[in-house]
Amino acid sequence: MIKTTLAALALAVATAAGAQDIKARIGTSLPDSHPQTLGARKFAELADKKSKGRIRIAVFSNAQLGSDQQMQAALRGGTQEFTVPSTATLANLVKEFGVIGLPFSFASEQQADAVLDGPFGQSLLARLPEKDLVGLAFWENGFRNITNSRRPIARAEDVVGLKLRTMQKSLYIDLFNGLGANAVPMAVNELFTALETRAVDGQENPYTVVYTQKFYDVQKYLSTTGHAYDALVLVVSKKFWDRLAPADRALLQQAAAEATVYQRQTSRALNTSLRAELVKQGMQINEVPEAERARMRERLAPVIAKYQAAVGEDTAKAFFDAI
């Protein structure tokens, strides 16, 4: 009895001083070499360094802890601490995150930074606690391009009839069906096999995903549709977060802010340099003319209107005003 009380007291003192040892896990859905995981590793390193080894975050890449959807559920339940989903899958939980992926919205990464780091992005993060999550930062996946094994996409019509894997989010499903493709939603960690067995003809992702997942082994054509900008969100389980001492929360916020600078730089550098690597690996890359991108956007007007309404006209207006 006395022992238990003393132990409880020791824990309380340690907690008050922010001095308890903390072990946590961060899970990503992509390989070690992808900026999603590189950012996670940097965040873990910074947390370790700033806490002098007291806060240890183990990194699990490649969906070892589950798909993006499964990891979000684990964070909510308090059985996993951190993950970094796309705003697209996070939108299944908080619909307002869906605006980020609205097709043909952002013109550059810098524009995305300004919106995400500004009041609009912060207003999205503020919606997470009611879903048992806390958002620490926006990271980058980047502009998404279509790859496939059948033909280059030179005109909007070339998308018609392609079986394309999409993220597990209705916006993406409607988007590709809206362009005349047959959308097949699935988790990204199942995608290589689906491409290899030709269960689907193609998929859409930034250069970093195409390269680090070795899609060049099973896809011939990459067309620079740049149809959507994909942001990732560094999220933490609220159950875990609420148990931390305020000083540790501040330390982790700082680690997240520093990791964000590194993550975005790395993502941008790789999305630039890997294009040439994909050509070396035998992919045929074609530039989609602006006029064709504009035609795709026109075809998607009903889908864009539907999702503007779905996220809420106020949110959509605030988003477009922020761009």
Q: How far is C-alpha 230 from the chain's CA centre?
A: 6
Q: Select the residue interacting with ligand EAX from 22, 68, 225, 244 (CB under 6 A).
A: 68
Q: Select the residue interacting with ligand EAX from 105, 141, 208, 212 (CB under 6 A).
A: 141
A 10 A CB-CB count for 3 gives 7
Whose Cβ is closer to ligand EAX: residue 30's or residue 100's?
A: 30
Whose Cβ is closer to ligand EAX: residue 185's or residue 312's?
A: 185
Whose Cβ is closer to ligand EAX: residue 20's or residue 141's?
A: 141
User: Which 213-232 positions form the footprint of ligand EAX (CB under 6 A)?
Assistant: 230
Q: By CB under 6 A, tell whether 140 contacts ligand EAX.
A: no
Do residues 278 and 210 lie in contact, with contact meaning Cβ atoms separated by under 8 Å?
Answer: yes
Spatial separation of the C-alpha atoms in residues 119 and 112, rounded to whole Å: 13
Q: How far is the CB of 140 from ligand EAX (least distance, A)?
A: 10
Whose Cβ is closer to ligand EAX: residue 184's or residue 209's?
A: 209
Q: How far is the CB of 205 from ligand EAX (least distance, A)?
A: 5
Own/partner contacts of 164-168, CB < 8 Å, gap of 24 or more, are 164/200, 164/201, 164/202, 164/203, 164/204, 165/191, 165/194, 165/195, 165/200, 165/202, 165/203, 166/203, 166/204, 167/86, 167/88, 167/89, 168/68, 168/69, 168/89, 168/92
Own/partner contacts of 122-130, CB < 8 Å, gap of 24 or more, are 123/318, 124/87, 124/94, 124/96, 124/97, 124/100, 125/233, 127/94, 127/96, 128/94, 128/235, 128/238, 129/238
Do residues 88 and 172 lie in contact, with contact meaning Cβ atoms separated by under 8 Å?
Answer: yes
Q: How far is the CB of 254 from ligand EAX (least distance, A)?
A: 24
- Helix, strand, or coil (residue 183): strand
Whose Cβ is closer to ligand EAX: residue 29's or residue 315's?
A: 29
User: Which 90-119 positions form the footprint of ligand EAX (CB under 6 A)?
Assistant: none
Q: Select the residue interacting with ligand EAX from 91, 116, 209, 304 (CB under 6 A).
A: 209
Size of the residue set binding ligand EAX (CB under 6 A):
11
Q: Select the residue interacting with ligand EAX from 47, 167, 175, 200 (CB under 6 A).
A: 167
Q: Select the residue interacting with ligand EAX from 86, 208, 213, 219 (CB under 6 A).
A: 86
What residue is closest to ligand EAX based on CB? 188
> Which parts of this chain interact with ligand EAX (CB under 6 A)?
29-30, 68, 85-86, 141, 167, 188, 205, 209, 230
